Amino acid sequence: MVRLLVEPFRDAYMQRALIEVLLLSGLAGIVSVYVLLRRLAFVGDALTHTIFPGVAIAFVAGQSLFLGALVAGLLSAVLLTWASRIPTVDQDAALGVLVGAFFSLGVVIVSTRQSYTADLTALLFGRILTVDTAEIIQTAVITAAVLVVLALLHKELVLRAFDPVAAEAMGYRVMALDLVVNGLVALVVVAGVRAVGTVLVIALLVVPGAIARLVTDRIGGLLVVSVGAAALCGYVGLAASYEASLNHRVRVGSGATIVVALTVAFLGAATVTTLVRRRRPAPTTPQADPVPA
Amino acid sequence: MTILQQLDSPLIRRALLEAVLVGALCGAVGVHVLLRRLPFFTLALSHAAFPGVVLASLLGVSVYLGGALASLGLVLAVAAIGSSRRLEASTATGVALAGAFAVGVLLQSAQSGGSRDLAAFLVGDVLTVSPRDLATTAAFGLIVVGGLALFHKDLVFAAFDPVGAKAAGYRTAGLEVLVLALVALTVVTSIRAVGTILAVALLVTPALTARQWTDEIGRMMALSALFGALAGVGGIAASAQWSVAGGSAIALTATGLLVITVAFQQARRALLPGGRQPSGVTAGRCG
Amino acid sequence: MSVRYGRDLALEDVSLSVARGGAVALIGPNGAGKSTLLKAILGLLPLAQGGVKVLGRRPEDAREQVAYVQQADTLDPEFPVSVLQVVLMGRYRAVGWARRPGAADRREAMRALTEVGLADRAKDRFGTLSGGQRQRVLLARAIAQHAQLLLLDEPFNGLDATTTDVLIEVLARLRGDGVGVVMSTHDLAVAHLTCGDACVLNRRRVAYGPIDQAITPGNLAEAYGSRAVLLASEATIVTTAD
């Protein structure tokens, strides 16, 4: 067992992949808690689609795909936050429109080139094994920036998540706070696309937070468990994909195995916590009030 | 060559008809997607259809069947995960979606190749629609529209006021399942024309556009179907004119209609202050 | 200290003012604009006409001095936050950006919790409390804020006896300390107990003044229309469905 977990990482390229995965897992794990508290799973998923035209334009123009994705992601975050404030438009609908518009724009741009299917695959499913030092540094910088912002704004973000009315009444600009969080999610999506692809980065943004919520009731605990679960699944997933490809002749992308690991971890946590709770029913239901006045 | 010149081609005629049918169908169903806050679920459905389709091609069964089964699986998964009070609907959907993806991607690795099919699955291929596809679309469309029409007032009541509907004796859970099933059927029907991801666009954008014009559900559905059909026509025309991907052109046309509408309404509001703000469709707190 | 107010549309030409230690009850049917009025005092709504002055300033500048207590049932009971953390939220403005609440803030929060009788539940998750208890926690949050003006939106709706008593005591204590209160309610008995003035409204001001003069059967009939039924000689208003 230990051999399986250590063996894959003898080569430099696998070590780099591991560092990238651990960085991303830490980043996604932390942001996943805010995604949970603010119910932003759809925002995360939508962003994985709306960065597509940015990548497409960058691809066609021969520029850095990362930059293209970044611009498109941040633009989506801005548009989404702005659109959610229109009275007859709610956030879900705005996201649906943005996904449709941006993704189709990307397709139109890409379809002007003939051979794009191979790049499409890499975009959709990631290519962690070819990550180089420059990309690791990029990821590290993004991680540091996101962590700093979250550390500074933590209590205000929690207040806004819990009670936006009170936040507004106290004088906080809810729209600005929302813009910041949407922007951070966009950053994580862009950073994660390379490792696990657009199709699967949503898993990194949603599942670790969900696992943590099953296990604990306190925000500090949520952050710790979420990061831990993400890092562990990243590690195990990477090792498993190596093992499967090399020794079992099954060609499985590491993005896929990481998400499988996350899903298994979630199912495990759900099963264990359900069984434990059935044994010791804790008072999670609100008590009834005494006789009304 | 403009669309008018190309109308001689049966291929284009079929594409046009398919686009109009799918556009109108998605428009009508889309109003319910909006009312019940289902855009994320719809996107998740279209993602979840992916493992179903891969499985279907692996097993050699109909793609529609595979997609339908996977959609059913997703609904069950979301219900199961969301039944824990700690995880609410969108988080549950995200987790179920991740799981569905994992399954699909694993299955896909088991079979080599398939990138080409994946692309068509994602973005559709409306310009190669066959008469049989048209017939399938029409048939499914009739089922969905029939279902909506049959239960119209019940669906609207339950969407507005779930508590009241339950008190009045409606089986709100059953109605919810009905809507989800109709939406799933619509998504599966639309895959051929616009692909999975853009099916969401057609299910949300025309309905949202209609929402800017009226508060009344019946009118909204009719308007939305109209906008959807218009998007279909516009999309095929643009596609024929400029040789761009059909499904995407349809989605972009629908978005364009929305943008024009919103710009118009905002301008109107700015120029005529004191006008009545459009009220929320769902009843909110009073006082 | 005063709040003066007047606007069009959802609310037409309403004006009232609250002095130091004074309390105004907002009485009116659903949809009368009571919540709108409270939001306008917070400076959250554009005014078509007239102005709001809070403590001699614009509402946006006075928000630290204004505490708003909404109905607790709007909050998600599953949210992973403790009772103490909720009360501490009232201190966030005082603590400022990028800093964490300190020991002094915690003491203030515990003091507020003690006043509402929930100090022993400080570490429990907010959602594990009963509805009335949660309302008290929101009140504690407002107390911890040390505001000079307190706005309450239907605070007495469906509360148990303990919570009602606590609420009445706290409001009296705060008024004694010079805090102004504006409170919307359906409960006339409580309004009489807690407030000196009343503003009866239904999109426009029907009556305003000392509570005994403002709340009369005639004014109530005008505000509520024929839908109002007075129970137990002016204790509570019950409206029939439209």
User: What does the DSSP assignment read for B1-12?
Assistant: --HHHHTTSHHH
Searching chain A, which residue's CA lies closest to the CA of residue C138? A166
Which residues of chain B does A209 touch, with a Cβ-Cβ cutoff of 8 Å?
A: 91
Q: A279: exposed, middle or buried (C-beta count within 10 Å: 0-12, 13-18, 19+)?
A: exposed
- Distance of alpha carbon B12 from alpha carbon B3, whole angstroms: 8
The C-alpha of C33 sits at a distance from chain B's nearest C-alpha, in angstroms, of 5
Residues of B in contact with C32 (CB under 8 A): 287
Q: Which of C80, C100, C160 sits opposite A291 (nearest CB)?
A: C160
Q: Nearest by CB to A253, which of B43, B85, B109?
A: B109
| Range list of H helices, A62-126 | 65-83, 91-110, 117-125
Name the burial class of residue C218, with classes exposed (0-12), middle (13-18) and buried (19+) by CB atoms within 10 angstroms of its CB: exposed
Flag whether pLDDT at A33 surpasses 60: yes
| Best mean pLDDT range from A87-91, B228-232, C93-97 | B228-232
Highest-confidence segment of A117-131, B110-124, C168-182:
C168-182
Chain B residues close to C31, C-beta within 8 Å:
286-287
What is the distance between the alpha carbons of residues C12 and B18, in angstroms, rounded to a whole number?
Answer: 53
pLDDT per residue of chain B (287 residues) written in tens, 0 to 9 = 565 666 777 888 888 889 999 999 999 999 999 988 899 988 888 778 778 877 887 777 777 778 778 888 888 888 888 877 788 888 999 999 888 887 887 777 666 545 445 666 667 777 778 888 888 888 888 888 888 888 888 888 887 777 787 788 777 777 888 888 888 888 888 887 788 778 889 999 999 999 999 988 889 999 999 999 999 999 988 888 888 888 889 999 999 999 999 899 888 878 876 544 444 333 222 32
Distance between CA atoms of residues B122 and B195, nearest Å: 5
Do the Cβ atoms of B187 and B199 come closer than 8 Å? yes
Split at pLDDT 50, 70, 90, the class of C1 is very low
Give the model confidence (pLDDT) of C114-161 as tens digits. 999 999 999 999 999 998 999 999 999 999 999 989 999 988 887 888
Q: Give the confidence band of A109 by pLDDT, cuts at 50, 70, 90.
A: confident
- In this complex, do A107 and B258 lie within 8 Å of one another by their Cβ atoms? no
A146: pLDDT strictly greater than 90: yes
Cβ neighbours of A49 in B, within 8 Å: 197
| % pLDDT > 90, chain C | 34
Least confident of A5-9, A42-46, C188-192: A5-9
Q: What percent of chain A has pLDDT over 90?
A: 45
Domain for residue A285, yes or no? no
Tokens for A70? Answer: 């970044």
Q: Kindly determine whether residue C35 and residue B285, on different chains, have CB atoms separated by under 8 Å.
A: yes
pLDDT attached to residue B158: 80
> Residues of B with CB below 8 A from A263's CB?
95, 98-99, 102
Answer with the residue of higher pLDDT: B49 or A109: A109
Q: Where are the domains of chain B?
A: 3-269
Instruction: Tell me the chain C residues in contact with residue B285 when contact means C-beta distances shorter than 8 Å.
Output: 35
Range A130-158 average pLDDT: 92
What is the count of residue pairs from A and C with beta carbons less than 8 Å apart?
Answer: 100
| A37 domain-assigned | yes
CB A212 within 8 A of CB A33: yes
Residue B53 CA to residue B105 CA, distance in Å, equals: 11
ipTM score for this prediction: 0.86
Q: Which chains neighbour B (Cβ–Cβ under 8 Å, 3 or more pairs)?
A: A, C
Instruction: State the fold for domain B3-269.
Output: ABC transporter involved in vitamin B12 uptake, BtuC (1.10.3470)
Give the nearest partner residue to A286 out of C85, C101, C127, using CB atoms: C127
Count contacts between A and B (CB, < 8 Å): 190
Query: C23-239: which CATH topology?
Result: Rossmann fold (3.40.50)
What is the extent of the structural domain holding A68? 9-279
First CA to last CA across chain A, in angstroms? 64
The minimal CB distance from B85 to the residues C31, C78, C184 is found for: C78
By the CB < 8 Å criterion, does A173 face chain C? no
Helix, strand and coil content of chain B, in percent to the nearest 5, comes to 80, 0, 20
pTM (two decimals): 0.86
Q: What does the domain layout of chain C look like in residue ranges? A: 23-239
Average pLDDT on A18-42 reads 93
Q: How far is CA C145 from CA B134, C62, C68, in A?
A: 65, 13, 10
Using one digit for the tens of pLDDT, what is the confidence trace for A199-246?
A: 678 899 999 999 999 999 999 999 999 999 999 999 998 888 888 777
Complete edge-to-edge strand list for the sheet that includes strand C149-153? C66-69, C149-153, C180-184, C23-27, C197-201, C205-210
Tally of structural domains, chain A: 1
Q: Which residue type occupies B206? A: P
| Six token digits for residue B117 | 């099919």
Please give the Cα distance from A214 to A209 (Å, whole number): 9
Is residue A252 one of the residues assigned to a domain?
yes
Enumerate the residues of chain A whose CB falls inside 8 A of the CB of residue B106.
252, 256, 260
B88 close contact with C: CB closer than 8 A: yes
